[in-house]
Structure 1
């Protein structure tokens, strides 16, 4: 079950599979995890793949729904599984297949659409919990993807961490999940979603999320949600059933060449405020539809995904400074105090 959308690459509109999501059904067969405090280092080689795989395979599961299958990572020893929201979307119950061949019924306990994360509860105890590494990995270090691509359980692919803080252009109109991601060239395919991306020390550095397919001209471009985000959201979901996210109260839209020409702009870099929420943070700060956001706290916002990614790294209550090109052509700054995202908003 693949979800099509579009992304901008090299100035061209290309097809993109939003996530290494669930595959169609086939006939093929306590407290949260303690984070590592060790600082990551650019280490690891292919010689590390066999022992790390043997260590982590028992902690990665296959998740089956009526619509297909994906992967998950054991989060607590008493049966809590972490996966992607799109893997379990529309399914209050799932089947969870473990590396030892056992299969158990699972209940979807809570989901977070904004980060595309979910937790599933199974009635099984004494499960092997992997170590999660909340620090970001180093570009170039070993990355091993473990999951059930295309239904092939306990599959392992290896590569390196290719980049950090990645946003996938052109996806903001459909989902806010594809921002602030880890990029890897470890092969990720449909069914890998929700599985583990691990380093040479056997620590989970990310939850596999998406890939750009070969027909888009890509070669091994995959993405994972950083472990720090996964831990934060999972802890909120298990304690309160929902996750809090910074909310600016505006709808960011890409600048088109036509709008750039109409406003006399030098290019299409920047984000248009398409709408504001009445009484929301942006409206209170004086932003109006048609204003252009050029930067957040000095960081350029060339695309809506940049703006969403900047919010992902903030918390409700934080104040951000926006560099604005107003409808009157004047440059100004606006102080926006972020709030918690309302339940009704995207």
Structure 2
């Protein structure tokens, strides 16, 4: 990889809990959801604050700035709602919700389908340890699976379904180019099929040796596993984390994605399906 594509600036994590983080790690983007009624964890406090803010913002016209600040990711989605790529690709983007044996909490993320029979790609950290995965398509069709494969060397997983005629995405056989415009479709903060668009910024390898690239756009929790699409609507990457980078003293948001070439050697026919 050319050295000019390596980021030379300091990375900083997005962190709603204001804790100290190692700059060599990033925030993953799955949503943790409470299932046992306990409220002692800081995430429950954040959720409670968001609920209160939503109620107040809807009740008082003098608080629009609070509402728009927390839901800025919906602005670009509105502008892209009639975009051809978004309309064509959105049906293949799914909500992933997992349950784990012995745990009441659930994790929600995003995934997408590559085969009419059901080959769902998402992040490993969304489904790892799950006893059951629930997959919901944009038409509210729900399918369940316990058939999950993890991809060695990548934060990626495949959830196999027993479906028929399911909407799917094509995969590009080329890597996204720096400066190329790409589109992300995900399910952040409980919203379904939210789209955003930005430019590919840089490529580099993580400490574990995983090749990733960054996109100049902000993505919210729940976006883990979102497809990154080129100008033809072909898959070029999978979102798995987010962060900020300081350039000339100014912080810029980044989505961090795994190139889709990691999927090219996979068999699209699960034995036994």
TM-score category, normalised to shorter length: 0.5 to 0.7
| Contact in 1 for aligned 2:98/2:131 (Cα 8 Å) | no
Q: Give me the whole-angstrom Cα distance separating, in 1, the residues matched to 2:231 and 2:82.
A: 7
- 2:125 maps to 1:86: yes
Aligned to 2:215: 184
How far 1:222 sits from its partner (Å)? 1.5
1:113 positional shift: 4.8
Unaligned regions of 5+ residues in structure 2, if any? 1-7, 13-19, 36-78, 100-105
Corresponding residue pairs, total: 207
Q: CA deviation at 1:106?
A: 2.1
- TM-score, structure 1 as length reference: 0.53
CA gap of 1:221–1:49, structure 2 versus 1, over 3 A, is farther
Cα offset, 1:187, TM superposition: 2.4
After superposition, the Cα gap between the structure-2 partners of 1:149 and 1:159, relative to the gap in structure 1 and judged at 3 Å, is: same
Q: Which residue of 1 aligns with 2:66?
A: none
94 and 111 in structure 1: CA distance in 2 versus 1, 3 angstrom threshold: same
Deviation sequence 1:66-107 (CA, Å, 0-9, x none): 331011110211012111111101103211110111221122
| Cα separation, partners in 2 of 1:224 and 1:65, compared to 1, 3 Å | same
Give, in whole Å, the separation in 2 of the partners of 1:122 and 1:237.
Answer: 11
Give the corresponding residue for 1:95.
134
CA contact (8 A) 2:109 2:187 kept: yes
Q: Is 2:267 the counterpart of 1:227? A: no
Alpha-carbon separation, structure 1, partners of 2:162 and 2:31: 25
CA separation of 1:225 and 1:62: change in aligned 2, threshold 3 A: same
In structure 2, the partner of 1:51 is 84
Q: Which residue of 2 aligns with 1:202?
A: 233
Task: Render the CA deviation track for 1:180-227: whole Å, top value 9, x for unaligned.
Answer: 112111322221111100011111111111111589x74221211111
**Counterparts of residues 160-309 of structure 1 (less than 5 Å):** 160-164=199-203, 166-168=204-206, 172=207, 176=208, 179-213=210-244, 218-232=251-265, 234-235=266-267, 238=270
* Partners of 2:111 and 2:196 in 1: CA distance: 16
Does the alignment pair 1:23 with 2:35? no
* Match 1:124 to one of 158, 163, 175: 163
Normalising to structure 2: TM-score of the pair?
0.66
Q: How does 1:304-323 map to 2 (within 5 A)?
A: none
Report the Cα distance in structure 1 between the residues aligned to 2:11 and 2:258, rounded to whole angstroms.
25
Residues 78 and 20 from structure 1, CA distance in 2 versus in 1: closer, same or farther, beyond 3 angstroms? same
**Greater fraction strand:** 1
Give the SS at the match of 1:136: coil
The alpha-carbon deviation at position 235 of structure 1 amounts to: 2.9
- Whole-Å separation in 1 of the counterparts to 2:224 and 2:230: 17
Q: How does 1:118-157 map to 2 (within 5 A)?
A: 118-157=157-196
Q: Counterpart of 1:235 in 2: which secondary structure?
A: coil
Alpha-carbon separation, structure 2, partners of 1:70 and 1:145: 14
Unaligned runs of 5+ in 1: 1-7, 28-45, 241-346
Runs of 4+ in 1 over 4 A off after TM superposition: 11-17, 46-49, 236-240
What is the CA–CA distance in structure 2 between the aligned matches of 1:82 and 1:91, rounded to whole Å?
15
